[in-house]
Amino acid sequence: MDNNYDLILHGGNCVSHDGISRSDIALRDGRIVGIGDYARAKAANFMNVRGLHVLPGIIDSQVHFREPGAEHNEDLESGSRAAVLGGVTSVFEMPNTRPTTTSTQALDDKLDRASNRMWCDHAFFVGADKENIDSLSTLERHFGCCGIKLFMGSSTGDLLVDDDEDIFRVLKNGQRRIAVHSEDENRLRERRSIAMETGDVHAHAQWRDVETAVSSTRRLLRAARATGRRVHVLHVTTAEEMRLLADEKTLATVEVTPQHLTLASPSCYDMLGTLAQMNPPIRDKAHQEALWQGVREGIVDVLGSDHAPHSRKDKDKDYPSSPSGMPGVQTLLPLMLEHVAAGKLTIMRLVDLLCTGPARVFGIASKGRIAVGYDGDVTIVDLNSKRRIEESWLASKCGWSPFSGFEVRGWPVATIVRGRVCMREGELLGNPSGEPVRFQESLTPLSVR
């Protein structure tokens, strides 16, 4: 046995392809090089994790870090700091930020800004718009790009491709799986008066109603079948969509968010007001149960936080002037660990949704599993820890969470990115050293290790 290791994780409950077993994990040069009994091995660092569960590094495949901007807007440093404090080792950022990520230059600029500033590994979506459709097949293969994002309905920002002809063109230009915000823009425009006339956030789910989501997803699936393009439907919220998508698993994968699995209307709007406002909206318990059924039946492939922070000042504006979106990258794992404790899903299914699922859906190279040869991305959690989510713990610049005050069972205690411990017991260690995530469909000679 080679005793030259950088780090050994000793005695933890390792959650891997082989189930859950008490195994040591040996890491060297940023990779996992051994799983088994390494109690007698020598290493530069030795971490006793007995009694804790050792998971593959958590991947949050939908975040919005809104830099550059005002003092209270999120940026790549603060957003990634929140990520690792919450046990997340990799994030995929959406393109509807400032400036929008719709070109090679914008993507390169974002990669440059991320260098030596982001605590976790990262990749960036390129947004489809009517000007860059013919370039999408090139853009999706760019280093550091996790894929193309299509907005069929308007949300935060001005990215939008809403007519069928252009949607077909987007799907024809490229091969990688394309992520889609699926709401019908024509119906949103027709029904906007509902929000304007009431001035009440309870109307948000009436304005952006079930049919707004379902009709858009039907259109998307028709286009996907016609073009043979794989699609990933983000933040699904309705029972009807879940049934549609269950019949299209050859082409379509499914994301749901912890918010939609945890909050339900109308009580969320009663308690939180515009802090509960997001797109697509939080819906009633019948739809929430349909999402959980999709989790249980394996229809849902991925959980994403849809971390989209806005300042408290902006969120306190009168509806519908208040922006949609809420922070979530730091609370993603604690919330879902509470659902594990409550018996809603198993820890193995959680790993499937937050680790192996994103790796499978997006073709991530060397992440998503605890396996020899994979990146040394590890999230260590204490399933017996009972904690309260406090605003003092949050690193996001917005400073609030819809889940402030929630009591959870299960807590991230360490975050390891490519073999480097960057968070332990709630404290950041070292300096930001996140790197771009690599993807199997866009590997180049320079990105092959």
Can you name the CATH fold of 55-362? TIM Barrel (3.20.20)
Whole-angstrom distance, CA of residue 417 vs CA of residue 406: 28
- pLDDT score for 5: 97
> pLDDT tens digits, the chain, 449 residues: what are they?
556 899 999 999 999 999 999 999 999 999 999 999 999 999 999 999 999 999 999 999 999 997 655 455 789 999 999 999 999 999 999 998 777 899 999 999 999 999 999 999 999 999 999 999 999 999 999 999 999 999 999 877 778 999 999 999 999 999 999 999 999 999 999 999 999 999 999 999 999 999 999 999 999 999 999 999 999 999 999 999 999 999 999 999 999 999 999 999 999 999 999 999 999 999 999 999 999 999 999 999 999 999 999 999 999 999 999 999 999 999 999 999 999 999 999 999 999 999 999 999 999 999 999 999 999 999 999 999 999 999 999 999 999 999 999 999 999 999 999 999 999 999 999 999 999 999 999 887 767 66
- pLDDT score for 69: 56
Residue type, 146: C
Residue type, 193: S
- pLDDT score for 158: 78
Decide: residue 441, CB within 10 A, 0-12 exposed, 13-18 middle, 19+ buried: middle
Q: Which of 315, 211, 204 is nearest to 263 (CA)?
A: 204
- pLDDT score for 70: 45
- Where are the domains positioned within the chain? 55-362
Instruction: List all residues 6 or more positions away from 198 whose beta carbon is below 8 Å from its beta carbon.
Output: none
Q: Structure pTM?
A: 0.97
Whole-angstrom distance, CA of residue 397 vs CA of residue 331: 14
- pLDDT score for 181: 97
Residue type, 71: E
Return the active site residues.
Answer: 306
Q: Which of 106, 114, 127, 125 is nearest to 80 (CA)?
A: 114
